[in-house]
Amino acid sequence: MTIIDELKWRGAINQQTDEEGLAQLVSEKAVGLYVGIDPTGDSMHIGHLIPFMILKRFQLAGHRPYIVIGGGTGSIGDPSGKKSERTLQSMEQVHKNEAAITAQMQRLFGQDGQFKIVNNYDWLSTISLLAFLRDYGKLFNVNNMLAKEVVASRLEVGISYTEFTYQILQSIDFLHLYEAEDVQLQVGGADQWGNITAGIDLIHKIKGSDTKVYGLTIPLMLKADGTKFGKTAGGAVWLDAEKTSPYEFYQFWLNQDDRDVVKYLKYFTFLDQDEINDLAQKVSDHPEKREAQRRLAEEVTAFVHGQEAVNEAENISKALFSGDVAELTAREIEQGFKSVPSVTVTAEKRNIVEWLVDFTSIEPSRRQAREDVSNGAIRINGEKVTDTEATVDPSSHFDGQFVIVRRGKKKYFLARVEA
């Protein structure tokens, strides 16, 4: 099975500029290919991850992946998928974002074989206005540019000349990489088809119509309910652990719909066909066990955050399910209890009733606090407390950083201890 055959099986190909030619090329040599990303933020989210999964598969198949950080194009703004003009970022912010995205790419691609990260600012910033107009602008027909979906969709509301020229800049990227690195394939999302084909056209005009360069796009990822993949009630799912904790990241994948999980296993994991087919059968036979979702969560979290993050996420999940939180680390608590109600307390020891009412407001009154404690409804750091004369010692667990309170079966509170 060639890499193209595998991508077809995984449902990861939307369009190809020359299917037969690309299939022949990848069977003959280690192909240079690239995916670009503009540094519009300081982290990728899982929607950004989609084309880079394709790039990673090519890497694992022995090809030569290039990651283009769009320091130049990112300072301009890609009109693709946008209904209005982007707000231009300062170059200082662009450079900060470049560094953050580069670090994430190094984690994703740095373990298996050769890859290279380049920044298109390095070559785009050296082109003078006259050179841009004479050497490149002359080769682009405005009528053809207007017909591209990325531009046509914006004509009614308007598009600036700056964003209009974006496809020229991206075309120059492909030409530069072809000349400097023998890159012959660009991969992108479905909305990048116009930009990719513009680059191929530019190369053919300058290097000759028989030049072997290709484009491949991937399908728009939709959930079974028709909504866009990657969004949650809380917003985007980020690859930055500070924005979306590894536990939250793990839970996102664990909670996927039975109707979607096999598609995501094909797309976001490197499991082989036999194992994915086996998991698909388990979804059909025993969906309540959620084995496919668990495998998906393990694989994607390990890929993005490492195996230690998977172990932590599983520890947190088990502790929350069983109520046995005493063995969690402070780091695991920070992740697992991020969304529960929280208060800040001092490190002083207090009577439990006073502490629950006066210092945390977890209980509305002392009468209710005494009743809940006496009835065994209160657990402190996983241990049931029934003595109303008991003392809460905030320094006794979790490196003196947290106190975990559970009221009833599922209601958790987190007390953060002041340093």
Q: How many CB atoms lie within 10 A of CB 254?
A: 19
* 32 strand-pairing partners: 64, 183
Tell me the C-alpha distance between 87 and 271, whole Å.
40
Decide if 176 is catalytic.
Answer: no
Of 57, 86, 116, 407, which is the active-site residue? Answer: 86
Q: Does the annotation count 228 as an active-site position? A: yes
**Which member of 10, 38, 48, 197 is catalytic?**
48
Give the Cα separation of 403 and 409 in Å (integer). 17
Alpha helices, H only, 160-226: 161-164, 166-181, 193-207
Q: Which of 228, 259, 318, 367 does the annotation list as catalytic?
A: 228
For residue 405, what is the enclosing H or E element? Answer: strand 402-407
8 catalytically annotated: no
Catalytic residue among 231, 331, 350, 370: 231
Tell me which residue has tokens 């109707």.
Answer: 259
Q: What DSSP string runs through 254-269?
A: HT--HHHHHHHHHHH-
**Is 391 an active-site residue?**
no
Residue in 104, 170, 184, 197 annotated catalytic: 170
Catalytic residue, chosen from 18, 42, 191, 260, is 191
Closest CA to 149 of 186, 192, 187: 192
For 42-73, give the DSSP string: SS-BHHHHHHHHHHHHHHHTT-EEEEEE-TTG
DSSP 8-state secondary structure symbol assigned to residue 28: H
Q: Exactly one of 45, 96, 223, 407 is catalytic; which is it? A: 45
The question of whether 232 is a catalytic residue gets the answer yes
Please list, residue by residue across 90-126, b when 16 or more beta carbons sit within 10 angstroms of its beta carbon and e when fewer do.
Answer: eeebbbebbebbeebbeebbeeeeebebbbbbebbee
- The three state secondary structure string of 301-350 is HHHHHCHHHHHHHHHHHHHHHHCCCCCCCHHHHHHHCCCCCEEEECCCCE
Quote the tokens at residue 276: 């994915």
Is 338 noted as a catalytic residue in this protein?
Answer: no
Q: Which of 111, 211, 232, 281 is catalytic?
A: 232
Stated as kind and residue range, the H or E segment containing 124 is helix 121-124
Give the residue numbers marked as catalytic.
Answer: 40, 45, 48, 82, 86, 170, 191, 228, 231-232
